[in-house]
Amino acid sequence: QVQLVESGGGLVQAGGSLRLSCAASGRTFSKYAVGWFRQGLGKEREVVASINWSGGSTYYTDSVKGRFTVFRDNAKNTVYLQMNSLKPEDTAVYYCAARYGTSWYPNPSQYDYWGQGTQVTVSS
C-alpha cells in the first residue's frame, strides 16, 4: 500500500515556474513507477510525465517537453515535477500516481495509487 501527497501548487503568472512534490509513504517506493497527470476544468485527465523506478527513464507529453522535468529522490520517497515557462493552458489540478513496476507508464488506468491533487493556476 502506498499513500501519496502532492504539494507545491499555486497561482503563478505566465512564464513563471513551480515545483510540485509527490511524497510517498512506504519503504519500497523505489520499486514504484510514478506518473504526473492533470485535469483541467471540463477536460479528461491526461498524462504530463512519467518516471521509472530508478529515475533513469522518463516520458513527457508533447505539450510540456522542454518545459517540465520529472525527477525523483528515492531516499526521500519523493518525486518532483519542475514546471518552467508555464502557460495559461497548463492550468489544471495536478495528480501524482504510482504503480509497482520498473518502467514508466503513460496511461492513468495503469496506476493503482493516487494522490488528492494540487491546483495549478497560470494567469495570463
pLDDT tens, 89-118? 999 999 999 999 888 888 999 999 999 999
Could you write out the DSSP letters of every residue in 109-124?
GG--EE---EEEEEE-
Across the range 49-53, mean pLDDT stands at: 96
Burial of 118 (0-12, 13-18, 19+ CB in 10 A): buried
Across the range 62-79, mean pLDDT stands at: 97
What is the model's pLDDT at position 71?
98
Residue labelled with grid coordinates 511524497: 23
pLDDT at 26 > cutoff 80? no
What is the model's pLDDT at position 79?
97
CA separation for the pair 4, 24 (Å, rounded): 5
What is the model's pLDDT at position 59?
96
Q: Which residue has the higher pLDDT, 27 or 112?
A: 112
